[in-house]
Amino acid sequence: MTARRINLRVNGRTVEAEVEVRVSLADFLRGQLGLTGTHLGCEHGVCGACTLIVDRRPVRACLMLAVQADGSNVETVESLGTREALSPLQQAFSDHHALQCGFCTPGMLMTLEAYLRDHPAPTREEIREVLSGNLCRCTGYQGIVDAALQAAQVRRAPA
């Protein structure tokens, strides 16, 4: 298999790695970097579980090759808060019971993280539209919408 050397930033750290050209960004992050917070739900770009942020934009990590991320800045769910200090968005997810099994959650968080940076005051309808590319089988979505609105508010006016 052909491999290439890539350089990128992942969650603020510089990463240099040799990677097979056919390996997806998701498999690279999970397999080679051990960042297993990014989940694979469909591997054909519909469910959104593998969503992460590449150069400020939400990306399906199952549809992007690792070599395409060469020179990019990649942010995964591990870049948000910690268990002891959740980010406002993560805290809102817990407050509003926006997760059950937790499998789609990292993709939900990264989709919303990317959106809220550019859209600090979204409406309920806008949030539902933005989430239309992320499937969740557990929650029925309502808690996720509530959480996104709370997080937006907290980010606008931190306590």
Contact 11, 75 (CB under 8 A): yes
Which residue, 7 or 132, has its beta carbon nearer to other proteins? 132
Closest approach, Cβ 153 to other proteins, in A, equals 18
Closest approach, Cβ 71 to other proteins, in A, equals 24
Q: Of 137, 80, 127, which Cα lies nearest the Cα of 104?
A: 137
- Structure tokens, 152: 């937006």
* Helix (H) or strand (E) run with residue 19 in it: strand 13-20
Which residue, 58 or 71, has its beta carbon nearer to other proteins? 58
Q: How many CB atoms lie within 10 A of CB 15?
A: 16
102 binds other proteins (CB under 8 A): yes
Interface residues with other proteins (CB under 8 A) are 22-23, 30, 35-44, 46-47, 49, 76-78, 80-84, 86, 90, 93-95, 97, 99-106, 109, 127-129, 131-145
